Chains A and B, each alone.
Chain A
């Protein structure tokens, strides 16, 4: 098939029907959306920054707490009985009674 005659006339036309007016409207909407986007997204950044700060504070708190209770390591390393046996009478009484007042009433 000789295609020369047919396709010489195609030029740079495209088989789509969007009009210039329609495209101008689309471009205008997209332009305004791009300009407004940073303003709308700022609360998201603010929320993310607050969440990240809280996570950092909590993580730091856990990190320091992990160094303050050697008894916990004993409890993890040995059986519960060994752990209880290693406690003094005073520690045991604290374990047994100290939390009762703190149980919330429903």
Chain B
């Protein structure tokens, strides 16, 4: 898909709707899974995805650079996913404290035939701090370059690389030291 052409179409009111449909056909699934990996529950992912689409549609005509398109889409989706998590916290509770609740959801929503190793790996990811988990997901699952992840998260490339390294160590440690 030619993002430059898409940006041109999105800036024109006459072609905006068609371009938005094309955009979502292309990136919609990626955004869904990105959100789902953060919020875990399908219902929450659906709500956050819907909100993200609304925001993307209402603001996308002001986007001028094709290079910024993917980071921007991910940023909107990430923000909506984190907002969804924040809505589930109580006073003074951090979203990192939601890890046990998210682990419960993971078990509830994992399909019966799912591999135990897949579930365990997700559990290990849920043991990471949320910001580290989000950055790890974008690198590991979506193959986004560190420069784009830096644009999305507002962190430096160096700190993201360090974070990724520590995340892999923590995951390995979790898998080795927790009971099956």
What is the interface of chain A, defined by CB distance below 8 A to chain B?
A: 1, 3, 6-7, 9-10, 12-18, 20, 23-24, 26-27, 30-31, 33-35, 37-38
Contact = CB atoms under 8 A, between A and B. Distances in A.
Contact of B117 (A1, A10, A16, A34): A10
Interface stretch (B31-39, B126-134, B150-158): B31-39
Contact of A15 (B21, B53, B114, B180): B114
B94 interface: no
Contacts of A6: 117
A9 to B, nearest CB: 7
Interface string B24-59: 110011001100110000100010011001101110
A30 B118 contact: no
B121 interface: yes
9 contacts: A1-B176, A7-B117, A9-B117, A15-B115, A16-B109, A16-B110, A18-B42, A23-B28, A27-B29
Contacts of B54: 33-34, 37
Given A14-B122, A38-B57, 10 more contacts: A6-B117, A7-B117, A9-B117, A12-B141, A15-B106, A15-B118, A15-B119, A27-B28, A30-B49, A34-B58
Contacts, number: 87
A18 B36 CA distance: 11
Nearest to B178: A1
Given A12-B141, A31-B24, A37 B57 contact: yes
B111 interface: yes
Chain B interface size band reads 35 or more
Contacts of A31: 20-21, 24-25, 28, 53
A33 B50 contact: yes
B57 A35 contact: yes
Given A33-B53, A35-B20, A35-B57, A27 B111 contact: no
**Would you list the 9 A-B pairs with minimal beta carbon distance, nearest first?**
A15-B114, A27-B28, A17-B111, A15-B110, A34-B53, A34-B57, A15-B118, A31-B24, A3-B175
Contacts of A34: 20, 50, 53-54, 56-58
Given A26-B46, A30-B53, A14 B115 contact: no
B28 A30 contact: yes
B31 to A, nearest CB: 8
Given A33-B53, A34-B54, A10 B115 contact: yes
Contacts of B117: 6-7, 9-10
